[in-house]
Amino acid sequence: MERILVKSGWGGIYTERITIAPAHLDLELLALTASQAASSRRLLTALAGVVDDFDLVVIDTPPNLLSHLIDNAWTAADLLWVPVEPEYDAVEAAKRVQQRVQEDRDVLNPDLQVGGFVINRFRSSLNLHNKRAEEVGTIIGPDAVCPVRFPELVVLKNGSEYAQPMSELGSEGRAMAALGADAYAWMRKRSDMLMGGAA
pLDDT digits (tens, 9 = 90+) for 71-90: 889 999 999 999 999 999 99
The closest alpha carbon to 66, from 23, 111, 112, 99, belongs to 99
pTM of the model: 0.86
Model confidence at 122: pLDDT above 70: yes
CB atoms within 10 A of CB 40: 22
Across residues 171-185, what is the average pLDDT?
Answer: 94
Rounded percentage of the chain residues whose pLDDT exceeds 70: 92
% the chain with pLDDT above 90: 53
Crossing angle of helices 88-108/68-76, nearest 10°?
Answer: 70
C-beta separation of 147 from 179 below 8 A: no
Q: In whole numbers, what is the pLDDT of the chain averaged over residues?
A: 88
Strands 79-84 and 19-20: unpaired
- Rg of the chain over Cα atoms, rounded to whole angstroms, equals 18
DSSP secondary-structure letter at 27? Answer: G
Note the pLDDT of residue 175. Answer: 93
Phi, psi torsion values for 172, nearest 5 degrees: -65, -40
In sequence order, the β-bridge partners of residue 37 are none
34 by DSSP, 3-state: which? Answer: coil
Distance of alpha carbon 24 from the chain centroid: 18
How confident is the model over 131-173, as pLDDT tens digits?
A: 999 999 999 999 999 999 999 888 888 888 888 899 889 999 9
